[in-house]
Amino acid sequence: MVKEERILNLLKGYEENGEWIKLEATYIIALCFNSYDDALKCLILRYGEQGKEALNRVTADLALVGVEHSPFGGLYGGIWYGKTEDTNKDIKGVIMEAFTEKCNLTWYKEEAKKRIARMSDKARKALALLIKLGFAIKHRQLTWQDVPIADIKNAYKGLFNEEWVDEIENELISSMTINAYSRSSRHHTYWYWVAPPYTLEVLKEMREEFEKLVTSKS
């Protein structure tokens, strides 16, 4: 069992020390609770070996403050099913809310702007398409959960007359515009894309620019 205050203090410590990769790794652990591989992919594409190191360090730090991991549902199962002992909140929710609502996200916003500016032509067109498909905003995040990823890829091919390649998704992740994660049932695995919370304001600022890119192809 863990108190909410201990989780919040852990995130606050990362923030105060400027340990931005660890801070985001905590958020991604909560987002990708069902799969270590999903979290690892996001962090390595975005930060290289530093991302992998942060994932392992944060997992250990969470255990030290009392976050228990269930033997079921993957490494992070306990984050989803566990509750804080003092406030009876889902631990996963506490982490995601703290990162989204209480942490200073300025470093990420500035870094995202730099990376988006360096995007390849293919990735820029893909991002423009995602913006065109609309902003579904939940908890200050952009999500395309209501649009099957296969439909997005088909729309890309139809609009730009070129095939979608896996490198596009990888670049969207590395440029800090989406996180990709999965949810599994007994018979199926479902994939989702959700933009990090700090990307909301960045994409709003660039929305007109990217919409022009899609409109010119319509």
pLDDT in tens, 77-97: 445 557 899 999 988 899 999
Residue 36 is predicted with a pLDDT of: 82
Residue 204: predicted pLDDT: 77
pTM of the shown model: 0.87
Q: How confident is the model at residue 143 (pLDDT cuts 50, 70, 90)?
A: low
Residues 186, 139 within the same domain? yes
Residues 173 and 203 both lie in one domain: yes
Last residue of a domain, one of 89, 104, 119: 104
44 burial level (CB within 10 Å; 0-12, 13-18, 19+):
middle
Q: Residue 92 sits in which domain range?
A: 4-104
Q: pLDDT class for 115, splitting at 50, 70, 90?
A: very high
Q: pLDDT value at position 78? A: 46
Are 114 and 71 found together in one domain? Answer: no
- Comparing CA positions, the residue from 49, 44, 82, 47 lying closest to residue 63 is 82
One domain, residues 154 and 167:
yes
Rounded Cα distance between 192 and 143, Å, is 8
User: Whole-angstrom Cα distance, residue 70 to residue 173?
Assistant: 28
pLDDT on residue 27: 94
